[in-house]
Amino acid sequence: MSRKLTFLIVAGVFALTLGIMFTANISSEDQAMADNSNVEIATIAGGCFWCVESDMEKLPGVIRVVSGYAGGEEENPSYEQVSSGSTGHREAVQVYFDPAKVSYARVLDQYWKHFDPTDEGGSFGDRGFQYTSAIFYHSEAQREIAESSKKALDESNRFNLPVITPIIKYTTFHEAEGYHQDYYKHNPVRYKTYRYFSGRDKFVEEHWGDEANVVSRGAALPMADSEFVKPDDATLKATLTPLQYKVTQHEGTEPAFKNEYWDNKAEGIYVDIVSGEPLFSSKDKYKSGTGWPSFTRPLVPDNIVEKEDSSFFTTRTEIRSRHADSHLGHVFNDGPPPTGLRYCMNSAAMRFIPKAELKSRGYGKFLDLFK
């Protein structure tokens, strides 16, 4: 029997006596919300859904978080069935968020900081498959972001053990009984007592400290200029790959012809890997023969900052992003018409947003470029 189930029995959950227990598939209200083009869903499991729900609702841009049971084959499972470990479900939450205000990458950043992604047998005091962690992706874009996010966290060596959280294609989600929703709000004393004795807070404090409470804007996020808060160095190390960190924070240069976008011919835009501010368009990309992505002009000139660079015994013009202050590359006067400029950029400093995903990721205003 899990610690949480024992806690529920001892506490005597009053909702049972009131007869308000129910389980359902995703509600019509939630489905209508999901059908809204301004809302995206993330389905994640990180142990006790009371705790995950509480932590995810603190993130700006999140509209609603619903506790429930993901995966499994049992139709409309009850809490008792799931907690027994016999149904193949995990306790999970669905996070409804506005991609114009917070990115999926930032949602995952918040998620990673509030559970133990190295635990194969459960989550803190709750043991069994039903309490293990998982990310359930709803699209290929989510899968790619999740894999990149997991890889970056694993390579950061923040934990002594490898990050084992699986990334699984989403299938089903059953909303949990009513008394589980917003449990931390309706039963604050019981919730805080359970959470404290579970060991979750101690783990988060030991591995993340104040970083767990950092509310910053994540990668691939379009934002108002005044809203972006650059993460501290420790957070950047944890969320960027070593190459991304080296390039953007320490003026590094990635290998020519061995980078992600040098030969990318797809239509879309390129945004800053840290802030998500729009930088360049595929409309202005050309084959320079240098082995790095090259552009004739920026998409949003105000997001580009030029600085004199006197390194390597020569003087060049460095290009940085305005809001994240990321090193992007350099600009040269040997480009083609109409500008005669070559913005030679590092793939590692940017994220590519395909034309088909511009609207869903909050960059819909750039769709007219590709008509």
The model's pLDDT over 94-123, given as tens digits with 9 standing for 90+, comes to: 999 988 778 888 899 899 999 999 999 999
> In this structure, are 265 and 186 located in the same domain?
no
> In this structure, are 55 and 160 located in the same domain?
yes
> In this structure, are 67 and 189 located in the same domain?
yes
Within-domain flag for 222: no
Within-domain flag for 219: no
Is the bond leading into 117 cis (omega within 30 degrees of zero)?
A: no
* Choice between 24 and 325, residue whose per-residue pLDDT is larger: 325
pTM, 2 dp: 0.55
Q: Which one of 213, 229, 253 terminates a domain?
A: 213
Q: What pLDDT does residue 363 have?
A: 87
The pLDDT of residue 170 is above 60: yes
CA-to-CA dists, residue 299 to 95, 278, 343, 370, angstroms: 32, 7, 11, 13
> In this structure, are 60 and 204 located in the same domain?
yes
The pLDDT of residue 89 is above 90: yes
Q: Which one of 165, 194, 213 terminates a domain?
A: 213
Give the CATH number for residue 10. Answer: 3.30.1060.10
> In this structure, are 111 and 173 located in the same domain?
yes
65 contacts 195 by C-beta, under 8 angstroms: no
* Range from 29-43, 70-84, 188-202 carrying the lowest mean pLDDT: 29-43
Within-domain flag for 59: yes
Within-domain flag for 8: yes
Within-domain flag for 230: no
Domain containing 264: what range?
Answer: 242-370
> In this structure, are 168 and 288 located in the same domain?
no
* pLDDT-based confidence at residue 164 (cuts at 50, 70, 90): very high
Average pLDDT over residues 14-34: 41
The pLDDT of residue 286 is above 70: yes
The pLDDT of residue 66 is above 90: yes
* pLDDT-based confidence at residue 9 (cuts at 50, 70, 90): very low
Q: What pLDDT does residue 227 have?
A: 56
Within-domain flag for 332: yes
* Choice between 100 and 92, residue whose per-residue pLDDT is larger: 92
Within-domain flag for 234: no
Q: Which of 300, 330, 294 is nearest to 314 (CA)?
A: 330
Within-domain flag for 53: yes
> In this structure, are 254 and 202 located in the same domain?
no
> In this structure, are 256 and 189 located in the same domain?
no
Q: What pLDDT does residue 225 have?
A: 45
Q: What pLDDT does residue 7 have?
A: 52
Q: What pLDDT does residue 334 have?
A: 94
On average, the pLDDT of the chain sits at: 85
> In this structure, are 89 and 208 located in the same domain?
yes
Give the CATH number for residue 255. Answer: 2.170.150.20
> In this structure, are 79 and 151 located in the same domain?
yes
> In this structure, are 208 and 277 located in the same domain?
no
Give the whole-angstrom CA distance, residue 156 versus residue 153.
5
- Domain total for the chain? 2
The pLDDT of residue 268 is above 50: yes
Among candidate residues 41, 45, 48, 52, the one labeled active-site is: 48
Among candidate residues 13, 41, 344, 348, the one labeled active-site is: 344
Q: Which one of 169, 192, 213 terminates a domain?
A: 213
CA-to-CA dists, residue 326 to 40, 249, 271, 343, 350, angstroms: 27, 6, 11, 15, 10
Bridge partner list, 354: 268
The pLDDT of residue 19 is above 90: no
Active site residue 51: no
The pLDDT of residue 128 is above 90: yes
Tell me 63's DSSP state. E
* Range from 261-270, 311-320, 326-335 carrying the lowest mean pLDDT: 311-320
Q: With H, G, I as helix, E, B as strand and everything else as coil, classify residue 239.
A: helix
> In this structure, are 291 and 204 located in the same domain?
no
Q: Tell me the residue type at 40.
A: E
Active site residue 344: yes
Interaxial angle between packed helices 104-112 and 49-56, expressed in degrees from 0 to 180 and rounded to the nearest 10: 130
